[in-house]
Amino acid sequence: MAAKQPAHHQKEAWNSQLGVILAMAGSAVGLGNFLRFPVQAAQNGGGAFMIPYVLALLLLGIPLCLVEWTIGRYGGQHGHNTAVGAFGAMSHRRGFEYLGLLGVFGPYVIFLYYVFVCAWTLAYSFFAITGYYSGIQDEQMMRSFLAGFQGIEQNQYFHGIWVAYLFFLITFGLNLVVLYRGIEHGIEKAAKFMMPALLVLAVIFTLRVLMMGAPDPARPAWNVTNGLGYLWNPDFSRLKDSKVWLAAAGQIFFTLSAGIGALLTYATYLKKDDDIPLSSLSAGSTNEFVEVVLGGSIAIPAAFAFFGPLGIVEVAKSGSWNLGFVTMPLILNRIPWGELFGAIWFFVLFLAGVTSVFSLAQPLIAYLQNLFGWSRKRAVTVFGIVSFLLCQPCIFFLRQGFIDEMDFWGGTVCLVLFSLFQVIIFGWVFGLKQSWEEMHRGAHIKVPAIFKFIIKYVTPAYLLLILGAWVSQYHGVFVLSDVPPEKKPYAIAARVMMTLMIAALALMIPLARRLRRRVPELEPR
């Protein structure tokens, strides 16, 4: 089991329940709430998509959040701030801690490219308010603008990736500043400012979209109301398609940050009797409000009003990135005060993304602190140097599919496997009776008893079904048969890098044990 922190080491903790809820909600609320969710709903039966979505929320999302919070708080009370130590503490068996490595490795892999994507939103907020793309009215030109910014091509707007790189440096530096200041004075304070700001700006933007009406008087049917109908009118025939159910389950994973390891890590900083059920449900409810109510009322309805019933089909098929960085700028260029509302739109995306980035970074920082007894400042410094170097392939090999490979393994495979490990440890290894009591210690509400059965039997079965379906659906990715020949060297390089990363994380555990035996009172420095 991973070594405990020295007794004299002052443990970090959240300062308030509100801070915990906002930070957890910030971890969950991300770009997917505003971009991925409406595209998934539009592509998978509209309102009918909400049936498997709600079922996945009840059978996967809520159980996994409760499990992750409980394991995290238990680990924190035993001196561990990552899944590695928490798994070891709950299992009382050496070896289980290695399963927890996915709760450090997975979020870190996502961090390495997600921080770059967040930088895009900050840059586009700047481009909007300065009117840099305001003259573009053509979709192909807006695609070219994005490709030039990303360094994929050189054009009249950009001559290389250096503008994007500048905004990456700004975003990366902001994250390090917040992380350097710690849980209470960094992440919690940032969440208390950023999450209310996000909600206020998102509501303002949503109201602006809903007041849009029909932009073209010659086409009165092209309006936001019919756009909402396009998104939410159910096509029940799509429920026969297994991919719709798989898409709904995948969206629940992404939207709640369930199974990544970030929530577990945040939960380790809870106090012994801090509430789990009410706080977990409050954070989850905030996320669902942002996703379903706000995210579902912005991009797709606005796109319908401007591009109509045929155009919106192509918009939905083009994917979430195209919706956010091509379609929405084109729409905002055509409305009064478009520069201002464009800046608000992309700043909302930035706030959503950067609060998630904090949570993706924290597991590795805590891992370094726990294993080696380092101070937070030293851990963040090492984290920053290593992460900066590992971010470079994601930036410069974007066109070659480097990020796609990282996303598949870190954001899909690790996510499902880690979720499965968590429910097994919670319901079968630690024991459901003891886990249930641990969950309700200090609780203000009681979780319905039916969730005992769901967590022990239904959730793991659901996860195994999803894992099997993903392996079946994406089996070509495992053997690189779906990767174009020109991209295969980069896919292999990404896999080699990730293999070395998880090997290094695993080797740190026995190394830390040897260091502790040699220097039992290792002081944080």
Assess whether pLDDT exceeds 50 at residue 8: no
Mean pLDDT of the chain: 92
DSSP label at 11? P
Confidence grade of residue 3 (pLDDT, cut at 50, 70, 90): very low
Asked whether 75 and 268 are in contact (CB, 8 A), the reply is yes
Confidence grade of residue 312 (pLDDT, cut at 50, 70, 90): confident
CA nearest neighbour of 263 among 73, 12, 502: 73
pLDDT of residue 520: 57
Instruction: Give the total number of structural domains in the chain.
Output: 1
Does the residue 197 lie in any domain?
A: yes
> How far is residue 236's CA from residue 229's CA, in Å, rounded to a whole number?
14
The backbone torsions φ and ψ at residue 382, rounded to the nearest 5 degrees and listed phi first, read: -65, -45
Asked whether 411 and 113 are in contact (CB, 8 A), the reply is no
Least confident segment among 47-56, 279-288, 442-451, 478-487: 478-487
CA nearest neighbour of 261 among 114, 119, 69: 69
* DSSP of 260-314: TSHHHHHHTTS-TT--SHHHHHHHHHHHHIIIIIIGGGSHHHHHHHHHHHHHHHH
Q: What is the pLDDT of residues 215-274, one digit of tens each?
A: 888 899 999 999 999 889 999 999 998 889 988 988 998 888 888 999 999 999 999 999
Confidence grade of residue 94 (pLDDT, cut at 50, 70, 90): confident
DSSP label at 21? H
> How far is residue 67's CA from residue 70's CA, in Å, rounded to a whole number?
5
Does the residue 58 lie in any domain?
A: yes
Asked whether 133 and 345 are in contact (CB, 8 A), the reply is no
pLDDT of residue 318: 85
Q: What is the mean pLDDT of residues 481-488?
A: 90
What percentage of the chain reaches a pLDDT higher than 70?
A: 97
Does the residue 373 lie in any domain?
A: no
Assess whether pLDDT exceeds 50 at residue 426: yes
Confidence grade of residue 313 (pLDDT, cut at 50, 70, 90): confident
Does the residue 70 lie in any domain?
A: yes
Assess whether pLDDT exceeds 70 at residue 524: no
Confidence grade of residue 319 (pLDDT, cut at 50, 70, 90): confident
Least confident segment among 153-157, 371-375, 461-465, 511-515: 511-515
> How far is residue 385's CA from residue 172's CA, in Å, rounded to a whole number?
11
Assess whether pLDDT exceeds 90 at residue 5: no
Assess whether pLDDT exceeds 80 at residue 139: yes
Give me Rg for the CA atoms of the chain. 23
Does the residue 505 lie in any domain?
A: no
Confidence grade of residue 7 (pLDDT, cut at 50, 70, 90): very low
Does the residue 379 lie in any domain?
A: no
The backbone torsions φ and ψ at residue 152, rounded to the nearest 5 degrees and listed phi first, read: -75, -30
Please list the alpha-helical segments (H only) found in 323-455.
328-332, 338-372, 376-396, 402-408, 414-424, 432-440, 450-453
Asked whether 102 and 415 are in contact (CB, 8 A), the reply is no
Give the Cβ contact number of residue 304 at 10 Å: 27
SS3 479: coil
Does the residue 93 lie in any domain?
A: no
Residue 297 has, within 13 A of its CA and on its CB side, a CA count of 17
Asked whether 49 and 244 are in contact (CB, 8 A), the reply is yes
- Sign of the four-CA dihedral 267, 271, 272, 273: negative
**pTM of model > 0.85:** yes
Amino acid in position 90: M
pLDDT of residue 1: 43
List Cβ neighbours of 41 (8 Å cut-off, separation of 6 or more). 49, 50, 53, 231, 232, 296, 300
> How far is residue 219's CA from residue 309's CA, in Å, rounded to a whole number?
11
Q: Which domain holds residue 248?
A: 17-78+116-354+410-487
Confidence grade of residue 10 (pLDDT, cut at 50, 70, 90): low
What percentage of the chain reaches a pLDDT higher than 90?
A: 79
- Sign of the four-CA dihedral 90, 93, 94, 97: negative
DSSP label at 93? S
Rama region for 14: left / alpha / beta (φ>0; ψ in -120 to 50; rest):
beta
pLDDT of residue 521: 53
Rama region for 406: left / alpha / beta (φ>0; ψ in -120 to 50; rest):
alpha
> How far is residue 346's CA from residue 121's CA, in Å, rounded to a whole number?
5
Distance of CA 52 to the CA centre of its chain: 21
DSSP label at 47? G
Distance of CA 40 to the CA centre of its chain: 16
Does the residue 101 lie in any domain?
A: no
- Sign of the four-CA dihedral 211, 351, 353, 388: positive
- Tokens 């290094």 locate to 504
Please list the alpha-helical segments (H only) found in 131-274.
139-150, 162-180, 182, 189-210, 224-232, 242-256, 262-267
CA nearest neighbour of 357 among 32, 20, 110: 110
pLDDT of residue 519: 63
Assess whether pLDDT exceeds 90 at residue 518: no
